[in-house]
Amino acid sequence: MRIILFAGKGGVGKTSIAAATGVKTALQGLRTLVISADPAHSLSDAFDLNRTLMDKGRGLPFKISESLWIQELDIQEELQKNWGEVQRYVSALLNTTGIEEIAAEELAILPGMEEISILLHINKYWRAHLYDVIILDCAPTGESIRFVSIPTALEWYMKKVFKLERRIARYMRPIAKRISDVPLPEDSYFDCIEHLFHKLEGIDRLLTNPDITTVRLVTNPEKMVLKETQRAFMFFNLYKLCIDAIIINRILPQGIKDSYFNLWKDSQETYINLAIEYFSPIPIFKVNLSDSEVLGYKNLERLAEEIYGDKNPAEIFYSASSYNFFKKDGTYILRLNLPFVTKNEVELNKIGDELVIRVGGFKKHIILPRSFALSKPKKAKVEGKTLIINFGGKE
């Protein structure tokens, strides 16, 4: 089975490219599901489908052809199925502040609920072997990074906080009921979270397995978009996801001779060359700007041919480890592939057997091997695209 994530800045053409990739893998006889991970779903629009037909399915996979399905999750349906107790508690909590019941229900949709719902579906499909290829049309960069960070964050919470929080709530609940009208979560709330965690078990290994899951970053030949692609590249590496291709979309065709576009063409050529320099040796696929909207199955099929030609989209185009541990001359060393990061952006903390790496607004917990956990970070440096951390001496 293959899982392919298409990520990038909003408006770069991720949905069309994800849909086109799904069309091509399905034509090769691979049972393919394309899932929209963007709250503002536009996958059905890419296939030019009647919205009424999609609404009948209420977030279920919708069959496009013999081997192709698409799915746009309904967050309200997912809340009822997976988050019932959690939403009820948060809603009750908001009610105590004076917020009306209906408004409280709407506000009780916490950040991350939709992303976890998508991860639950992927894990379920993986365990049941329902599809050969799952393609994710990701939300814009920041949300898609949160999406891939959730399994790590949830595992950390369950191991470090959950049991203690549950015990405290159990002891404090009778006292809180006597002195305050602010409710503490019941056992059913904690049961719901624990049940979700078990259903997600293994998803982190699935996402970080480069033989199964890869990320394809979609970008445009523009300065701001390319900068965001660099940041996305760095953060996906931080979370140990393999990036196997960069797709540069909306390139002005060489056949355009109108002098009006000369500056645009020169600018695009500059940024295409920069992208090749930045991301080498990862393969780069170039896609010309279409002369019309890419809508409907046939247009998506043509787009797929332009992107991949005679290549198999389910192929892994590039694989490399994001970080590795090794020993050299008696010193334990951790090397992380973090392109585009600067020394001043990185903050390191070691807590027990964990190394906490913070880059900008994101942080990653890395569980250290025993030999590393017994030592403390001695020095760190950035060399080219790599962050190198030396461990030495006792904790």
Q: Which domain holds residue 244?
A: 1-75+113-147+211-320
Whether 233 is covered by a domain: the verdict is yes
Distance (Å, whole) CA 350 – CA 119: 29
**Which residue, 268, 299, 320, sits at the end of a domain?**
320
pLDDT at 343 over 60: yes
Most confident option among 39-48, 73-82, 270-279, 306-315: 306-315
Q: Per DSSP, what are the bridge partners of residue 386?
A: 337, 383
The CATH number given to whatever domain includes residue 341 is 2.60.40.790
The pLDDT of residue 59: 81
State pLDDT tens for residues 245-254.
999 999 999 8
Q: Which spans in the chain are helix H?
A: 14-27, 43-46, 51-57, 75-82, 84-95, 101-107, 113-128, 141-157, 163-179, 187-199, 203-207, 223-238, 262-279, 297-308, 370-373
Do 141 and 252 share a structural domain? yes
What do you get for the CA distance between the two ends of the chain, in Å? 42
The residue assigned the tokens 């629009």 is 45
Tally of structural domains, the chain = 2
Judge whether 271 and 232 are in contact, CB under 8 Å: no
Question: CB 100: neighbour CB atoms within 10 A?
Answer: 10
pLDDT at 21 over 50: yes
Do 369 and 268 share a structural domain? no
43-59 average pLDDT score: 79
Q: Could you give the 3-state DSSP secondary structure of residue 242?
A: strand
Q: Which comes out higher in pLDDT, residue 181 or 277?
A: 277
Do 302 and 388 share a structural domain? no
- pLDDT band with cut points at 50, 70 and 90 for residue 79: low
Whether 199 is covered by a domain: the verdict is no
pLDDT at 68 over 90: yes
**Which residue, 290, 305, 320, sits at the end of a domain?**
320
Do 133 and 19 share a structural domain? yes
Sign of the torsion angle spanned by Cα atoms 187, 188, 193, 198: positive
- Which of these, 275, 242, 207, lies nearest to 12 by C-alpha position? 275
Do 243 and 264 share a structural domain? yes
Q: Which comes out higher in pLDDT, residue 18 or 94?
A: 18
- pLDDT band with cut points at 50, 70 and 90 for residue 393: low
Do 349 and 229 share a structural domain? no
pLDDT at 298 over 90: yes
What percent of the chain lies above the pLDDT cut of 90?
A: 41
Q: Which comes out higher in pLDDT, residue 330 or 134?
A: 134
Residues 6 or more apart whose CB falls under 8 angstroms from that of 200 comprise 116, 119, 120, 123, 151, 154
pTM above 0.85, yes or no: no
The CATH number given to whatever domain includes residue 67 is 3.40.50.300
The residue assigned the tokens 């503490």 is 184
**Which residue, 320, 337, 367, sits at the end of a domain?**
320
- pLDDT band with cut points at 50, 70 and 90 for residue 103: very low
List, as one string, the DSSP characters of 330-368: TEEEEEEE-TT--GGGEEEEEETTEEEEEETTEEEEEEP
